[in-house]
A = this chain, B = another copy of it.
Amino acid sequence: MSSPDSNLLSINTATVRAQWSLPEIVAGCARRGIGRVAPWRDQVAATGLKESAQRIRDAGLALSGYCRGGMFPALDRGGRRAALDDNKRAVDEALSLSAPCLVLVVGGLPKDSAGRPASKDLASAREMVRDGIGELLEYARPAGMPLAIEPLHPMYAADRACVNTISHANDLCDELGAGVGIAVDVYHVWWDPALRSEIERAGGHSGRLLAFHICDWLVPTTDLLLDRGMMGDGVIDIPLIRSWMESAGYRGAHEVEIFSAGNWWKKDPDEVLITCIERHRTVC
């Protein structure tokens, strides 16, 4: 494999969120010659939507995606309606920011008011996800904002996303039609024996490959959520998966998304960016 095009590197703002505000991240990326970012809604809200869009534009940055919509399942109709309304606002924000897609973390089992799982009916949660994306599509499709379903690792099936394989995401895309695609994050899907064939299925004529997220799986992993590794520090064969993405026609960004409470979130954020640039060039 040849080194990836450095122009394709993008920084998901979660990677340095513990150290920097969104304006600081935008300035830091511009300073280091990184041309793309993927901001999170809470960071945009803290800065203000207009100012966020302005700063990103003024810095000459493009977005690789907007994080995130989703969380569709809820115990009652009112809860699902509230989720849909919030997702519509996320679509509006993504449009204001000129994002190429809105990433969807679809949600797990319905929760009670304290945030605890209030159901064991996984099949029903998956139906709520399908219905929720379908309803959101009626809003997002005419607005021209692609929705990117992000299959999450099966260890998040209960509390974050009950779509856990690209196969399942492809099935949803088959059912829901135009306007919805897939965000492939190596952290979530690297283990899947069907990964190559499902990337192929999502690519080419299907045109569903909307985003490519990179980081690494550490051994041991000490926390289910906040112990992701820097590319090269774990066991994922990133160049191999990138080659499958490229064979399937993907030409978009390589977005670094690292949640790392114990390590990268404690480092000088400028050093983190330098490391992202270096590792992207050498091990991705």
Which residues of A pack against B, CB within 8 Å? 109, 116-117, 120-122, 126, 153-155, 157-159, 162, 164-165, 167-168, 190-193, 217, 219-222, 224, 234-237, 240
* Contact B191–A159 (Cβ < 8 Å): no
* Contact A159–B117 (Cβ < 8 Å): no
Chain B positions within 8 Å of A157 at CB level? 190-191
Of the candidates B167, B190, B219, which one forms a contact with A116 in the assembled complex, judged by CB atoms under 8 Å apart?
Answer: B219
**Looking at chain A's contact residues, is the secondary structure mostly helix, strand, loop, or mixed?**
loop
A-B contact pairs, 12 of them (CB 8 A): A116-B219, A120-B240, A126-B193, A155-B155, A155-B224, A157-B190, A158-B191, A158-B234, A159-B219, A162-B191, A164-B191, A167-B193
Residue of B nearest to A224 (CB): B221
Chain B positions within 8 Å of A121 at CB level? 237
* Contact B235–A120 (Cβ < 8 Å): yes
Bound-state CA distance A235–B160 (Å) is 13
Chain B positions within 8 Å of A165 at CB level? 193
* Contact A219–B154 (Cβ < 8 Å): no
Of the candidates B122, B217, B240, which one forms a contact with A158 in the assembled complex, judged by CB atoms under 8 Å apart?
Answer: B217
* Contact B126–A236 (Cβ < 8 Å): no
Residue of B nearest to A193 (CB): B168
* Contact A159–B220 (Cβ < 8 Å): yes
Chain B positions within 8 Å of A120 at CB level? 235-237, 240
Chain B positions within 8 Å of A167 at CB level? 193
Bound-state CA distance A192–B163 (Å) is 10
Residue of B nearest to A171 (CB): B193
Residue of B nearest to A240 (CB): B120
Bound-state CA distance A164–B116 (Å) is 27
* Contact A235–B158 (Cβ < 8 Å): yes
Bound-state CA distance A240–B117 (Å) is 17
For A162, A193, A237, the residue with the greatest tally of chain B CB atoms inside 10 Å of its CB is A193
Chain B positions within 8 Å of A153 at CB level? 154-155
Bound-state CA distance A28–B243 (Å) is 56
Bound-state CA distance A117–B193 (Å) is 19
* Contact B155–A235 (Cβ < 8 Å): no
Bound-state CA distance A217–B109 (Å) is 13
A157 shortest CB reach to chain B, Å: 4
What are the 3 closest A-B residue pairs judged by CB atoms, nearest first?
Answer: A157-B191, A120-B237, A154-B191
For A109, A126, A158, A167, the residue with the greatest tally of chain B CB atoms inside 10 Å of its CB is A158
What 10 new A-B contacts, CB under 8 Å, besides A117-B219, A168-B193? A109-B235, A120-B240, A122-B190, A154-B191, A158-B191, A159-B220, A162-B191, A164-B191, A164-B193, A221-B224
